[in-house]
Chain A
Amino acid sequence: QITLKESGPTLVKPTQTVTLTCTFSGFSLNSNGVSVGWIRQPPGEALEWLALIHWDGNRRYSTSLRNRLTISQDTSKNQVVLTMTDMDPVDTATYYCARGGVRGILGYWGQGALVTVSS
């Protein structure tokens, strides 16, 4: 059974850096063709793709946020970590991680983690 779960702070202050962790089970990020990505959704708004990391370590980022994002993996812990710097109230959103294939096919999603940015 494949599961993913996001964790991290629920409240951060403007300009702070947030670290979100996706802990998964039921698959290995070392397996050929597997990827894990992050997607966010501001309250009442649409989904926004943020970043992904492939089984081979290849990383891809959102064009508008690439300067603020870092995605990494801890294979031994079955975790993928997303770091976002210089948080702003407009970054308030539910952050999801999802397991995908070589291209897309986000077949498994976590429950999401709401991050609120406020002073």
Chain B
Amino acid sequence: DIVMTQSPLSLPVTPGEPASISCRSSQSLLHGNRFNYLDWYLQRPGESPQLLIFLGSNRASGVPDRFSGSGSGTDFTLEISRVEAEDVGVYYCMQALQTPYTFGPGTRLEI
């Protein structure tokens, strides 16, 4: 199975300031079709997870443009340009290159 790691595991931030979360995989997530099969999800307190970013860098429908994803191969980053109060929650990366899909341990963003 592909192992996913994230850092930091806890991220205190100030509203209006940027935030960055790192995700690493034990194997390259770059497919031969040149897509990186890496998703980012946000789980707000008491809610179901929601898709933020797919294929490493594509924002899901309705996701504010302050969220951006980058990276390739084994190293990926989720960036929030200016954190807002509603961004509080746990952020997970998930690889979908091969099954079983695997999630990272999550990064708790708190204000």
A residues with a Cβ closer than 8 A to B are: 37, 39, 46-49, 52, 60-63, 96, 98, 100, 103-107, 109-112
Contacts and interface: CB of A to CB of B under 8 A. Distances in A.
A118 B99 CA distance: 31
12 contacts: A46-B103, A47-B106, A49-B103, A60-B100, A104-B39, A104-B95, A105-B51, A106-B39, A106-B41, A106-B94, A107-B54, A107-B60
B102 A96 contact: no
A112 B51 CA distance: 15
Nearest to A52: B99
A104 B1 contact: no
Contacts of B54: 104-105, 107
B92 A46 contact: yes
Contacts of B103: 39, 46-49
Interface in B82-103: 90, 92, 94-97, 99-103
B37 interface: yes
Q: Describe B's contact surface by its main secondary structure.
A: loop
A107 B23 CA distance: 20
Contacts of A62: 100
A109 B41 CA distance: 11
B48 A49 contact: no
A119 B78 CA distance: 42
For the complex of A and B, 9 pairs with smallest distance between CB atoms: A104-B96, A60-B99, A109-B48, A103-B96, A49-B101, A47-B103, A105-B54, A107-B51, A46-B106
B96 A63 contact: no
Contacts of A111: 48
B73 interface: no
B71 interface: no
Contacts of A47: 41, 43, 49, 92, 94, 103, 106
A2 B99 CA distance: 24
Contacts of A60: 99-100
A105 B39 contact: yes
B50 interface: yes
Interface in B46-62: 48-51, 54-55, 60-61
